[in-house]
Amino acid sequence: MIQIVDKRQCSGCTACEHICPQHCIAMVADEEAFLYPKVDESRCIDCGLCDKVCPVLSPIGQQKPLAAYAVRHGDADTLANSTSGGMFMLLAKFVLAQQGIVFAAKYNADWSVSHAAAMDEAQLELVRGTKYLQSELNTTFVEIKQHLKAGKWVLFVGTHCQVAGLKNYIRRPYDTLICVDIFCYGVPSPFVWQHYLAELTQRLSVNGDKATIKEIKFRDKQIGWRYNGVKIGGTLQPSGKSFTLAEKTGDNLYMKAFLSGLANRPICGECPFKDHKSGSDLSIGDFWGIQRIHPELDDEKGVSAVFVHTDKGQEVMKQLNPLQLIEVKPADIYAGNPYFLVPSPTKPARQEFFDALHATNDFSKVVEQFTKKNMLQRVKHRIAKLIHWT
Ligand SMILES: Cc1cc2nc3c(=O)[nH]c(=O)nc-3n(C[C@H](O)[C@H](O)[C@H](O)COP(=O)(O)OP(=O)(O)OC[C@H]3O[C@@H](n4cnc5c(N)ncnc54)[C@H](O)[C@@H]3O)c2cc1C
């Protein structure tokens, strides 16, 4: 029976919940709003299936990349509205053209994030774009299995751990399932996200107005792909005025907490799925450092990095029609994305950070306090940035 004694051993993938023949496992949120399985022991028959499908307890194993590419979508609008080089839209349109279903992450009404099915172009718009918090899977795995049994094409896009969980849950191979993992720095806490949004709306609600958020976009490319921004827009009622908050990603308080290693799920700091261990057909991310090997693509519009892990992945790549498809060496991708190979570090003060957030409504003060750099750290950070971007 699955028992989470150490939270660094669970990514919350839901495979155990859905495989249980007794339906006696529920995903329950902890004080950081991360979901963990909880077994109703009175109904458990000790069949052991939950342990068998857990991708942490039953790892998938390492895949050797068959090929690596730099990819860019040919449509200027699609590229501008994609986080990286638009690889997701190339794949999604291919699957929709087969009358298939795309499962990817979308915002809910309260700006939490969960996976949802997209069966047409309008639904596809909702699951595009990066959302930097852990996405809830709900019944996604069960729905995917039903569609596969009905002979449908399915594209699943998620983090390494979500793909590994799906692969273990599905168990047998399906020719029509394409699993794609996104390069992942880690998944931040939905509690931290809601805390940030609560403070933001409170700050914007002045002179009797109440702020309502209508749009959130991480990695907005208006100021460029590398030095991108966070854009949050909405309206103030009853005055009817609108507001837009546009900040550089590095200045946004929520992103500061995320990128400092304060807010991620405990397992992220020891992620066992790094270095091609998710079982995916393809891995997609940002091609950081493209300017070093293909300076002609260095125009701030965005480039995707792609690893191909399976023959099916290679077949799918042949069906896509990107503007640029350039074969590269895996090492060219690793150079700009070291956290594809190893977990991103967790800040030692992570627990104190969460304790402080639980004790106050002052998100800004807590984040500033925990992300303040001393002189030596500032110099090191600047040097690291210079090395990264040149
Ligand atoms: C939490 C997180 C951390 C990331 N860390 C890195 C990194 O360190 N390095 C790097 O190169 N790239 C990272 N990425 C991936 C990158 O931001 C882009 O999502 C990816 O390159 C795809 O961009 P695109 O242009 O192909 O498509 P887009 O149209 O931008 O599509 C993004 C895809 O990611 C899915 N997605 C969005 N949010 C989530 C989520 N919370 N959980 C699961 N799936 C989601 C969307 O549904 C969509 O399928 C991260 C993404 C997330 C969500």
- Checking if the pLDDT of 380 tops 70, the result is no
Place of tokens 């400092």: 260
Average pLDDT over residues 122-126: 98
Return mean pLDDT, the chain: 95
Ligand 1 centroid from CA 19, angstroms: 27
Atom of ligand 1 nearest to the CA of 133: 41
Q: Which atom in ligand 1 lies closest to the alpha carbon of residue 127?
A: 47
208: CA distance to ligand 1 center in Å? 38
Helices (H), 182-329: 190-204, 253-259, 290-293, 311-319
DSSP 120-172: SHHHHHHT-S---SPPB-TTHHHHHHHHHHTT--EEEEE-HHHHHHHHHHH-S
- Our CA angle for 308, 311, 316, nearest 5°, is 70
| Over residues 219-232, mean pLDDT | 93
> Looking at ligand 1, which residue's alpha carbon is closest to its atom 28?
129
What mean pLDDT is predicted for residues 170-186?
A: 97
Q: Measured from the CB, is residue 174 less than 6 Å from ligand 1?
A: no
Give the pLDDT band (50/70/90) at residue 5: confident
DSSP per residue, 329-360: -HHHHHHH-GGGTSPPPPPTTHHHHHHHHHH-
- Which atom of ligand 1 is found nearest the CA of 285? 21
Judge if the beta carbon of residue 101 lies within 6 A of ligand 1.
no
Task: Quote the crossing angle between the two packed helices 190-204 and 363-371, to the nearest 10°.
Answer: 120
> For residue 390, what pLDDT band results from cuts at 50, 70 and 90?
very low
pLDDT for residue 384: 60
* Residue 346 near residue 354, CB atoms below 8 Å: no
304 lines ligand 1 (CB under 6 A): yes
Can you tell me the mean pLDDT for 342-369?
95
Q: Residue 374: which pLDDT band, with cuts at 50, 70 and 90?
A: low
Given this model, what pLDDT does residue 109 score?
A: 97
Residue 232 · residue 211 · CB < 8 Å: no
Residue 43 has pLDDT above 70, yes or no: yes
pLDDT at 120 over 60: yes
pTM metric for this prediction: 0.95
Give the mean pLDDT of 340-353.
97
Q: Is 285 in the pocket of ligand 1 (CB under 6 A)?
A: yes
Torsion, Cα of 78, 83, 88, 93 (10° steps)? -20
CA atoms within 13 A on the CB side of 3: 5
Q: Look up residue 33 and give its amino acid.
A: A
Indicate if the pLDDT at residue 273 is higher than 90.
Answer: yes
Q: Is the pLDDT of residue 183 over 70?
A: yes
User: What's the gap in Å between 184 CA and the centre of ligand 1?
Assistant: 7
pLDDT at 322: 87
The Å distance, Cα 43 to ligand 1 centre, comes to 38
Which atom of ligand 1 has the smallest separation from the CA of 132?
1
The ligand 1 atom at the shortest distance from the C-alpha of residue 162 is 43
Candidates 130, 136, 219: which one to mutate for ligand 1, based on the most atoms within 8 Å of Cβ? 130
Does the pLDDT of residue 377 top 70, yes or no? Answer: no
Residues 328 and 63: beta-carbon distance below 8 Å = no
**Is the CB of 158 within 6 Å of ligand 1?**
yes
Residue 373 has pLDDT above 80, yes or no: no
Confidence band for 387, pLDDT divided at 50, 70 and 90 = low
CA-nearest residue for atom 34, ligand 1, is 130
Whether the pLDDT of residue 382 is over 70: the answer is no
User: Per the structure block, which two tokens stand in for 204?
Assistant: 């914007």
The two structure tokens encoding residue 52? 């068998």
User: Mean per-residue pLDDT for 370-382?
Assistant: 72
Nearest CA among 299, 271, 286 for reference residue 333: 286
Percent of the chain with pLDDT over 90: 92
* Domains in the chain, CATH or no CATH each: 7-53 (3.30.70.20), 67-188+264-340 (3.40.640), 190-261+348-384 (no CATH)
Q: Is the CB of 184 under 6 A from ligand 1?
A: yes
Q: Whose CA is nearest to atom 12 of ligand 1?
A: 285
| Apex 347 CA angle, 342 and 352, nearest 5 | 150
Q: Mean pLDDT across the stretch 97-102?
A: 98
**CA–centroid distance, residue 16 to ligand 1 (Å):** 25
130 lines ligand 1 (CB under 6 A): yes
Q: Is 221 in the pocket of ligand 1 (CB under 6 A)?
A: no
Q: CB of 107 closer than 6 A to ligand 1?
A: no
Please give the average per-residue pLDDT across 267-282, as a whole number: 98
Q: Is the CB of 260 under 6 A from ligand 1?
A: no
- pLDDT of 271 strictly over 90: yes
**Amino acid of residue 128:** R
pLDDT digits (tens, 9 = 90+) for 189-213: 999 999 999 999 999 998 999 999 9
Q: Tell me the three state secondary structure of residue 280.
A: coil
Per DSSP, the residues of 160-190 read: HHHHHHHHHHH-S--TTEEEEEE--S--B-H
pLDDT higher than threshold 70 for residue 314: yes
Query: Counting Cβ atoms within 10 Å, is residue 240 exposed (0-12), middle (13-18) or buried (19+)?
Result: exposed
Given the CA of residue 134, which atom of ligand 1 is nearest to it?
Answer: 41
Q: Is the dihedral of CA 64, 70, 74, 76 positive or negative?
A: positive
**Minimum CA distance residue for ligand 1 atom 5:** 184
| Res 389: pLDDT | 46
Segment 362-381 shows an average pLDDT of: 81
